[in-house]
């Protein structure tokens, strides 16, 4: 099967707004878990230190800053409608715009195309908040809280004609979304795909329910595969990737962050209980993904595990992964296992995409980040000989003269499993270089405040950029971005150039850069002017 290229990505997770910030969090070994903020709910009202009906025995979670803020005007959405939009819909719109910018794909340029949208989402908290007081309900509340609209609104606003699906398989939703997106691209149903997931925790009821089931960690940490594992901590986030067939990405000169070589999904079927995981089903889904990828288990050097920190689930997952590796003759080779949940918690319907982004970033930076809260292997697993181990330190991850492969697992509480095989991006030789000389780097924003903020981002970015990329940076800014009414331009023979104003005139950028080979490269993302929107602020 043709590999699928990851040509763009963006995210928001606790302590990390964007891929660069996420990598810094992982590299530094940061724990992003905090106490539940007061703008979500009053912890004193809902908390009890021991399990108690109607209470939660945890005070912890992973939360996004300003989850109630949104740049509604930018997307042409009225303030009244924005108030009734689930914040999950809002963050998907903003992160999708950022991911498309990262790919050098202005949304206006893909309007009318067979671009598919595949969004994992399962949380109904905003609907629950709205329904507490029927007097506050509005017609906008229907489209504002239906899960399907999380994907459909993105397709509508960007005028995308490919499949538009909201996928709910609980914890595995976002990785299943990536799998379906890859299938759609390979089948020719989509020519481009936006895939990932979102999860926001806006009300206390689900945490109470999970506490009644004994799934929450009292101290609010996911101790994946550790002897002290005592449950998981809930968290928020949104992550999206832009996917394209490899041949198309190469032809269009896209930056390729990584390759998805193969993927698979399946179901546990009958187990000891509806929520009890199946080790044999996990083995099957991993083997199927490896087969689809044309990769052997012994070629895996890292696996991003589901790794929630529930003892039964971690033991079953470890043994299933070990069985696959040993059966494939990898028993004498080591494979690192980790889980981003140890840093940011369990992002539920966005957890699979969080793990995928961690792997892509680790491949790009040739470094495996440490797994937090791991002190001693669970006693049930210490007795087993396995090629697997958990690292608590940064580890170099070089290619050794060949491609590097990793697996990503995500398992839903109802038994829907997903696994994705990721390959490091292949170096692409340039057949011809852009001409030397002066290049114009246009910067624009919908507001003057946004323009000033974006110029500052460029200044920081250019200070660290490779001088040899100046032509590609200018090309991406000119031909891979939307251009707004507030504009500035940097012009010169190098990256150290002076700011000038462009006065808003229209320029045929592609004609200006025609005749030479340029590449799209990731550059600073658009700055949103975000205001607070919440349903209880609607005027009568």
Q: What would the pLDDT profile of 39-68 be if each residue is shown by its tens digit? A: 899 999 999 998 899 999 999 999 999 999
What's residue 540's pLDDT? 29
Nearest-5° Cα angle at 272, 271 to 273 = 85
Predicted TM-score of the model (pTM): 0.95
Does residue 539 register a pLDDT over 60?
Answer: no
What's residue 537's pLDDT? 42
What's residue 498's pLDDT? 43
80-94, 128-142, 176-190, 246-260, range with the lowest pLDDT: 128-142
Q: What percent of the chain has pLDDT over 90?
A: 73
Q: How far apart are CA 285 and CA 282, in angstroms?
A: 5
Scan for tokens 């200018």, then name that residue.
474
Scan for tokens 């060949």, then name that residue.
402
Does residue 496 register a pLDDT over 50?
Answer: no
Describe the strand order of the beta sheet including 439-445 as a list of residue ranges.
Answer: 439-445, 486-492, 498-501
pLDDT category at 289 given cuts 50, 70, 90 is: very high
Q: Which of 11, 171, 238, 479 is catalytic?
A: 171
Mean pLDDT across the chain: 91
Q: Which of 257, 306, 373, 439 is catalytic?
A: 306
Does residue 495 register a pLDDT over 70?
Answer: no
- Closest Cα to residue 343, out of 356, 354, 335, 330? 354
Q: Give 61: exposed, middle or buried? Use CB within 10 Å, 0-12, 13-18, 19+.
A: buried
What's residue 492's pLDDT? 57
The average pLDDT across 68-97 equals 96
List beta partners, residue 406: 302, 422
What's residue 467's pLDDT? 65
CA dist 327 to 41, 290, 320, 535, Å?
Answer: 49, 13, 11, 54
81-90, 163-172, 240-249, 447-456, range with the lowest pLDDT: 447-456
Q: Where are the domains of the chain?
A: 4-424
pLDDT category at 380 given cuts 50, 70, 90 is: confident
Encode pLDDT of 150-194 as tens digits.
999 999 999 999 999 999 999 999 999 999 999 999 999 999 999
Counting Cα atoms < 13 Å in the Cβ hemisphere of 492 gives: 10
The average pLDDT across 106-131 equals 94
pLDDT category at 501 given cuts 50, 70, 90 is: low
Does residue 511 register a pLDDT over 70?
Answer: yes
What's residue 228's pLDDT? 95
Q: What percent of the chain has pLDDT over 70?
A: 93
DSSP assignment letter at 232: B
What's residue 430's pLDDT? 72
What's residue 226's pLDDT? 95
- Closest Cα to residue 282, out of 302, 266, 295? 266
197-201, 332-336, 407-411, 527-531, range with the lowest pLDDT: 332-336
Q: Say what angle helices 351-365 and 173-186 make with each other, to 10 degrees.
A: 70
Active site residue 306: yes
Q: How many CB atoms lie within 10 A of CB 358?
A: 27
Overall size of the chain counted in residues: 540
Q: Which DSSP string do the residues of 183-213 spell out, in sequence order?
A: HHHHTTS-SEEEEEEEE----SHHHHHHHHT
Q: Which of 179, 346, 419, 486 is catalytic?
A: 346
Active site residue 171: yes
**Architecture of the domain delimited by 4-424:** 3-Layer(aba) Sandwich (3.40)
The average pLDDT across 463-481 equals 83
Encode pLDDT of 410-447 as tens digits.
999 999 999 999 999 988 777 776 766 677 888 889 98
């Amino acid at each position: 099967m043709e590999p699928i290229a990851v040509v763009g990505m963006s995210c928001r997770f606790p302590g990390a707004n964007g891929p660069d910030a996420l990598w810094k969090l992982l590299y530094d070994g940061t724990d992003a878990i905090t106490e539940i903020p007061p703008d979500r709910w009053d912890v004193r009202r809902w908390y009890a230190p021991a399990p108690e009906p109607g209470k939660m025995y945890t005070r912890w979670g992973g939360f996004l800053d300003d989850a109630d803020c949104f740049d509604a005007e930018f997307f042409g959405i009225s303030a009244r409608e924005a108030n009734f939009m689930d914040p999950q819909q809002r963050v998907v719109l903003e992160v999708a715009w950022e991911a498309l910018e990262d790919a050098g794909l202005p949304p206006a340029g893909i309007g009318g195309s067979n671009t598919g949208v595949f969004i994992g989402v399962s949380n109904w908290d905003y609907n629950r908040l709205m329904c507490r007081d029927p007097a506050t309900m509005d017609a906008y509340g229907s489209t504002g809280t239906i899960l399907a609209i999380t994907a459909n609104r993105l397709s509508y606003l960007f005028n995308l004609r490919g499949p538009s699906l909201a996928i709910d398989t609980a914890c595995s939703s976002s990785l299943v979304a990536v799998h379906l997106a890859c299938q759609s691209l390979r089948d020719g149903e989509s020519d481009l795909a936006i895939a990932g997931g979102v999860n926001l925790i806006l009300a206390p009821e689900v945490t109470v329910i999970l506490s009644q089931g004994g799934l929450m960690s009292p101290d609010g940490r996911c101790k994946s595969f550790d002897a002290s594992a005592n449950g998981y901590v809930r968290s928020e986030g949104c992550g999206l990737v832009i996917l394209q067939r490899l041949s198309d990405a190469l032809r269009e000169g896209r930056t390729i962050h990584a390759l998805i070589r193969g993927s698979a999904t399946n179901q546990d079927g009958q187990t000891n209980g509806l929520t009890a995981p199946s080790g044999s089903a996990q083995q099957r889904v991993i083997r199927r993904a490896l087969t689809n990828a044309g990769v052997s288990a012994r070629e895996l050097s890292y696996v991003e595990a589901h790794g929630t920190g529930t003892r039964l689930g971690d033991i079953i997952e470890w043994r299933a992964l070990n069985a696959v590796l040993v059966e494939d003759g990898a028993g004498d080779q080591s494979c690192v296992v980790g889980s981003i949940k140890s840093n940011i918690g369990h992002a539920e319907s966005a957890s699979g995409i969080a793990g995928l982004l961690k792997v892509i970033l680790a491949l790009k930076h040739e470094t495996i980040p440490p797994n937090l809260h791991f002190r001693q292997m669970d006693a049930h697993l210490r007795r087993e000989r396995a090629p697997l181990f958990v690292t608590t330190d940064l580890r170099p991850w070089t290619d050794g003269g060949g491609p590097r492969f990793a697996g990503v697992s995500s398992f839903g509480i109802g038994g829907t499993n997903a696994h994705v095989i990721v390959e490091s991006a292949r170096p692409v030789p340039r057949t011809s270089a852009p001409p030397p000389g002066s290049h114009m780097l246009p910067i624009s924003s919908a507001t003057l405040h946004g323009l000033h903020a974006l110029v500052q981002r460029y200044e920081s970015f250019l200070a660290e950029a490779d001088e040899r990329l100046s032509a590609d940076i200018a090309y991406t800014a000119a031909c891979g971005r939307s251009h707004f009414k507030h504009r500035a331009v940097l012009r010169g023979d190098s990256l150290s150039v002076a700011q000038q104003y462009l006065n808003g005139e229209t320029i045929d950028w592609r004609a200006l850069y025609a005749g030479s080979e340029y590449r799209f490269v990731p550059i600073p993302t658009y700055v949103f002017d975000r205001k607070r929107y919440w349903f209880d602020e609607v005027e009568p």
